[in-house]
Amino acid sequence: MPWIKLFDSLAQAQAKIPVRKATAVVVQGQEICVAHTAAGFFAVENSCPHLGDALSRGTTNYLNEIVCPWHSYRFNLATGQECQHRTRPLKRFALEIREDGLYIELPD
C-alpha cells in the first residue's frame, strides 16, 4: 500500500488543521477527512455513512470523536465506530508522522 505525503511537516499540518478541527483532502481521487484532536491526527472517509454529509464540515470533541454536522452522529476517530451503533463504522486510514511530513496510507 502506498504512503502519500499530505503535509511537508508536522508544523504545517498543525497550522492547516488546528486542534478540534477537520478538513477534507483529496488523495488519488478519494475525498478524506483529516481531523486533529488532542490525541493527534486521524484520517477517515469524509462521507457520513448515515446520510452522506461531509464529516470535514463537522467538529471534533474531547472524546476523540468527529461529529457529523447534519444529525450529530458521533464517530470515534480511533475505531471508526458510531457511538450508538446506529450505522456502519467509518473507513479509517493510517497516518504516519515522519521527519519530512505527514503521510497517509491508501489501499491499492
Domains of the chain, residue spans? 3-105
> pLDDT-derived band of residue 1, with 50, 70 and 90 as boundaries?
confident
Distance, CA of 80 to CA of 88 (rounded, Å): 9
Using the predicted structure, report yes or no on whether residue 108 has a pLDDT greater than 90: no
Q: Residues with Cβ < 8 Å from 39, sequence gap 6 or more?
A: 64, 77, 78
**pLDDT tens per residue across span 68-97:** 999 999 999 999 999 999 999 999 999 999
Using the predicted structure, report yes or no on whether residue 45 has a pLDDT greater than 80: yes
Per DSSP, the three-state class of 16 is helix
- The share of the chain scoring above pLDDT 90, in percent, equals 96
> pLDDT-derived band of residue 48, with 50, 70 and 90 as boundaries?
very high
The domain made up of 3-105 has a fold known as Rieske Iron-sulfur Protein (2.102.10)
Mean pLDDT of all residues in 6-22: 96
pLDDT at 107: 83
